[in-house]
Chains A and B, each alone.
Chain A
Amino acid sequence: MIVAVASGKGGTGKTSIACALTQSAGGEVCLLDCDVDEPNAHILLRPNISHTFPANILLPCVDDKQCDGCGECARVCQYHALTVLGGRPVLFDHLCHSCGGCALACPRHAISETAKAIGKINVGAVGDIRFISGELDVGEAMCPPIIRQVRAQANGCRNVVIDSPPGTSCPMVTAVRGSDFCILVTEPTPFGLHDLTLAVDVVRRLGMPFGVVINIADIGDDGVERYCRDQRIEILARIPYDRAVAEAYSRGRSIVEAKPEYRTVFAGLFQEIGSRVRRAS
């Protein structure tokens, strides 16, 4: 089973909930930190990283001896990553989506694809938890390729928890798509509600089953509760504001380390999602 933890709004507690879920699920669980712009689940889980390897993308490389400047590569490129200037195609590598269309289209077979590292993948473990994270290099623009590579590392794992990047654009979609269930973490504020509605739009379009976890549930307003009632969205859990949890967090300790009694809550949540996924399949 693959459970994605996403939110829309940043800072609602995705990583805290994803790590607490992973630590409570029992048995072998794989945590994927897909927030490759700013991965930080390792701070809460403290895994031993056993190996690290580069995350590569493919970029076109034009053989000047073969190229006659016909411009077919630039014509097929939907991302305008190639432009013919001074009689030769020029690559703007931050626009390239590595689709390989240019290499297929070139009538003179002048384009080959070469690997370029845009970040790295870290693989490790802590207890029964397998840990995989992606890290995008500063200055690189494209998160989805590295997120796909992080997800591919979990092939064969029975239970997977994905810590998604915030937002509702390509990185978030790449992280959650294909999961069996999506938990949307929000906070009971107008800001939490606003971005929750966007995230709900995304997961509905992806056709995924999902539910909401309200973090710091006993402060703020009742907007999220009313929205979920109107939209018939299930609230899976309400985590109250707790100074002990906040203090533990400020020292890099997880919810279940601060309050071991929460293990039952998160274990129950994981089992409940599991039985729902099994019923649906």
Chain B
Amino acid sequence: MKIAVSAMGGSMSALVSEQFGRCAYLLIVDSENMEFEPVSNPAAGMSGGAGPEAVRLIAAKGAEVVLTGRVGPNAENALKAAGIRAVVGISGSKTVRQAVEEHLKASIR
């Protein structure tokens, strides 16, 4: 399963970005083998509509879940339309790797 994570940088050791639509990077992590693809978020600097654009991006990358701090109302509707589940409330003090591992552990339980 592919998991998208909003992040401050383009690696697994980067900290999670608590904002979704305007995060610097979106990491697309494959939960099978922890391989990841960093995507510099083109929506970060948009004047409006950043949330839906970030959703379109992660949907195109095949993400089924997104881990982030919080999503705005537009992003929330876009995630619903794209059929992507949002897991919010992830702290910005965690690394992307920690966030993904904790999510996987919680999902197994």
Residues of A within 8 A of B (CB): 79-81, 83-86, 88, 90, 92, 94-95
Contact = CB atoms under 8 A, between A and B. Distances in A.
Would you list the 3 A-B pairs with minimal beta carbon distance, nearest first? A80-B49, A83-B52, A85-B82
11 contacts: A79-B48, A80-B50, A83-B52, A83-B53, A84-B56, A85-B55, A85-B81, A86-B81, A86-B83, A90-B78, A92-B78
Main secondary structure of the interface of A (DSSP, over half): mixed
Interface of B: 46, 48-50, 52-53, 55-56, 59, 74, 77-78, 81-83
Nearest to A79: B48
Contact of A95 (B49, B56, B81, B82): B49
B74 A95 contact: yes
A88 B52 CA distance: 13
B6 to A, nearest CB: 18
Given A90-B77, A92-B77, A85 B52 contact: yes
Contacts of B48: 79-80, 95
Nearest to A90: B81
A85 B49 contact: no
A80 B52 contact: yes
A86 B60 CA distance: 10
Contacts of B52: 80, 83, 85, 90, 92
